[in-house]
């Protein structure tokens, strides 16, 4: 799945990864050398509401900023806002904006720009993957579903130029983390009206309020630049004048460019990992993404729990990581990955705390469940298709899974269908598949950002999982227990347990990126949901 992307005081957080952090941070105003960075997929848009994939989210994070942004410790801290006051009932949140906020064209940035930005995210025309997390704002649900088109009814109001007020249907403990998302960045209506449908389609049709301004992107070229935004409110945090971004979809090409000194960072494939893993500049970067196989509940075979459990237990994830995924995949049992949240009482990581050990490879147990499935599905042909992307890595992963399933379950026939990513995403969103190899990265650092995918009414419930008890747990966490940290945590923990036991999805692990990065480059942050932050990048 595409990117969709911490609960301060409620769920303790794991620190973000600060790549190459050193004592240089004290020299916040010193400007470094130009940086040469790489991304692994083309830039599709700079519209904050439509930044649904990882590259778009990364770039929009460099040229934009919201009320909050993550600091190096993984904590949401005020960014465009200078103060926040929450009412006693937790339903009215009032922000005062910093003085001197401006757009990259010099225009003043006001609270009205935030109102417009929020309205665009809940507007169905933008197809924002983050719209669902806005539905706790008063009036948002009716707008997201299309039941209303009165965007003035949204509970986001500009009381004056520097005061923004949110009206919530109930307290939102993860609100600071949610508001770090690009979906809740301000947007300049006057600029959008001027450029029309071209908004976000090129550098010329983009506008910034963040650390950098986008340059040299015509909408399709693979090399472009980020240059320092002279109107950015926190100038002292920006430590480079220019970052050149190159789109490198092939890891061999990226590795060769790195070896030649042409880029300062690259993601590695299996062969490059073997050649690089003992180098001083080799790093494995944790991301907040879960790799999994979605099992379409509209397929009659996959409605059978025993068959789903047999599939779940047939895959040796340790071997998958070592043989296919360059050894970088982190093992896990829960759909919520590690590093997202901690038990508010014990500080134990949610992924460990909620684990029921349901995803552990066991040929014996897999075959036991399969025999039960064969009895319950008597007379039906046990044949399934596994959908994957058509890049080399995805094909290898699909082939390994096919081999595992058919080896452990000989009476099962599994065929592979590989398609370009866009076609795969379209197929999974329309449930036009049996099994799909995919991944999910939360919008914000809270288990709810992962678990709410599979509620009955979720538009992103690609497996069509339906469980009233699961729905009730998440509704309770979101409402009655919203301001009760320990009870809310227990609700979320129990909900993840349902996914482990029912197996509508098969968790393969938590994605990590094996990379190489110059020792001369520091200050790069990979925030808790895996989005890149280059605001303070510095190259000696």
Give residue-wise pLDDT tens across range 96-139. 999 999 999 999 999 999 999 999 999 999 989 888 888 889 99
Question: In the structure, what pLDDT confidence band is assigned to residue 69 with cuts at 50, 70 and 90?
Answer: very high
- Asked if pLDDT for residue 451 goes beyond 70, the answer is yes
**C-alpha to C-alpha distances, 451 to 46, 443, 474, nearest whole angstrom:** 27, 12, 8
Same domain, 315 and 238: no
Report the DSSP beta bridge partners of residue 294: 436, 505
Question: In the structure, what pLDDT confidence band is assigned to residue 29 with cuts at 50, 70 and 90?
Answer: low
Q: What is the CATH number of the domain that holds 527?
A: 3.40.190.10
d(CA 132, CA 460): 9
Give residue-wise pLDDT tens across range 341-359. 999 999 999 999 999 999 8
Q: Is residue 253 part of a domain?
A: no
Q: Is residue 508 part of a domain?
A: yes
Q: Is residue 144 part of a domain?
A: yes
Q: How many CB atoms lie within 10 A of CB 263?
A: 24
Q: What is the pLDDT of residue 27?
A: 42
Q: How many CB atoms lie within 10 A of CB 146?
A: 10
- Asked if pLDDT for residue 379 goes beyond 90, the answer is no
Flag the least confident range among 26-30, 382-386, 479-483: 26-30
- Asked if pLDDT for residue 14 goes beyond 90, the answer is no
d(CA 186, CA 209): 8
Q: Is residue 263 part of a domain?
A: no
Q: Is residue 252 part of a domain?
A: no
Q: Using alpha carbons only, what angle is made at residue 22 by residues 18 and 25, rounded to the nearest 5 degrees?
A: 90
The total of structural domains in the chain comes to 2
Q: Is residue 277 part of a domain?
A: no
Here the tokens at position 254 are 């990226």
Same domain, 132 and 101: yes
Give residue-wise pLDDT tens across range 478-528. 889 988 999 999 999 999 999 999 999 999 999 888 999 999 999 999 887
DSSP 3-state of 287: strand
Domain that holds residue 437: 288-513
Are the C-beta atoms of residues 134 and 122 closer than 8 Å to each other? yes
Same domain, 532 and 496: no
Q: Is residue 281 part of a domain?
A: no
Q: What is the CATH number of the domain that holds 311?
A: 3.10.105.10
The secondary structure of 220-281, three-state, reads CCCEEEEEECCCCCCHHHCCECEEEEEECCCHHHHHHHHHCCCCCEEECCHHHHHHHCCCCC
Q: Is residue 428 part of a domain?
A: yes
Q: What is the pLDDT of residue 22?
A: 39
pTM for the whole structure:
0.84
Report the DSSP beta bridge partners of residue 352: none
**C-alpha to C-alpha distances, 525 to 269, 463, 502, nearest whole angstrom:** 22, 33, 36
Query: Within 13 A of 345's CA, how many CA atoms are on the CB side?
Result: 8
């Amino acid at each position: 799945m595409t990117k969709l992307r911490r609960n301060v005081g409620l769920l303790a957080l794991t620190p973000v990864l600060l790549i190459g952090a050193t004592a240089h941070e004290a020299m916040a105003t010193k400007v470094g050398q130009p940086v040469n960075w790489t991304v692994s997929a083309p830039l599709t848009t700079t519209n904050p509401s439509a930044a649904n994939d990882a590259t778009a989210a990364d770039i929009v994070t460099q040229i934009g900023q919201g009320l909050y942004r993550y600091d190096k410790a993984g904590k949401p801290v005020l960014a465009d806002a200078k103060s926040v006051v929450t009412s006693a009932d937790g339903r009215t949140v009032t922000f005062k904006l910093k003085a001197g906020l401006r757009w990259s064209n010099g225009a003043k940035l006001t609270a009205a720009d935030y109102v417009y930005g929020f309205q665009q995210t809940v507007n169905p025309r933008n197809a924002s993957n983050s719209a669902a997390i806005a539905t706790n704002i008063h009036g948002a649900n009716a707008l997201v579903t299309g039941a209303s088109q009165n965007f003035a009814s949204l509970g986001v109001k500009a009381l004056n130029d520097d005061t923004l007020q949110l009206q919530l249907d109930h307290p939102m403990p993860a609100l600071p983390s949610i508001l770090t998302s690009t979906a809740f960045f301000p947007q300049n209506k006057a600029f959008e009206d001027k450029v029309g449908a071209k908004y976000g389609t090129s550098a010329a049709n983009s506008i910034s309020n963040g650390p950098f301004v986008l340059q040299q992107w015509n909408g399709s070229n693979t090399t472009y630049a980020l240059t320092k935004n002279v109107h950015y409110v926190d100038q002292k945090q920006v430590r480079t004048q220019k970052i050149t971004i190159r789109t490198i979809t092939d890891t061999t090409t990226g590795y060769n460019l790195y070896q030649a000194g042409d880029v300062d960072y690259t993601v590695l494939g299996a062969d490059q990992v073997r050649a690089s893993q003992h180098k001083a500049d080799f790093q494995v970067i944790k991301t907040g993404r879960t790799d999994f196989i979605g099992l379409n509940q509209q397929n009659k075979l996959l409605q059978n729990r025993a068959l789903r459990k047999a599939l779940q237990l047939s895959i040796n994830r340790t071997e998958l990581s070592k043989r296919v995924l360059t050894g970088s995949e982190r093992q896990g049992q829960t759909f919520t990955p590690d590093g997202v949240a901690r038990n508010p009482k014990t500080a134990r990581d949610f992924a460990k705390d909620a684990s029921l050990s349901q995803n552990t490879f066991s040929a014996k147990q897999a075959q036991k469940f399969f025999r039960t499935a064969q009895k319950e599905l008597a007379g039906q042909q046990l044949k399934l298709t596994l959908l994957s992307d058509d890049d080399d890595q995805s094909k290898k992963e699909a082939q390994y899974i096919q081999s595992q399933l058919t080896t452990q379950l000989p009476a099962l026939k599994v065929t592979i269908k590989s398609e370009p990513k866009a076609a795969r995403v379209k197929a999974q969103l329309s449930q036009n598949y049996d099994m799909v190899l995919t991944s999910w990265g939360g919008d914000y650092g809270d288990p709810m950002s992962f678990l709410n995918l599979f509620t009955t009414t979720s538009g992103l419930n690609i497996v069509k999982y339906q469980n009233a008890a699961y729905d009730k747990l998440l509704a309770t966490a979101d409402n009655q227990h919203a301001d009760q940290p320990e009870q809310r945590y227990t609700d979320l923990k129990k909900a993840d347990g349902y996914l482990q036991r029912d197996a509508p999805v098969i968790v393969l692990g938590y994605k990590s990126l094996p990379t190489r990065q110059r020792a001369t480059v520091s200050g790069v942050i990979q925030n808790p949901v895996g989005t890149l932050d280059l605001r303070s990048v510095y190259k000696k």
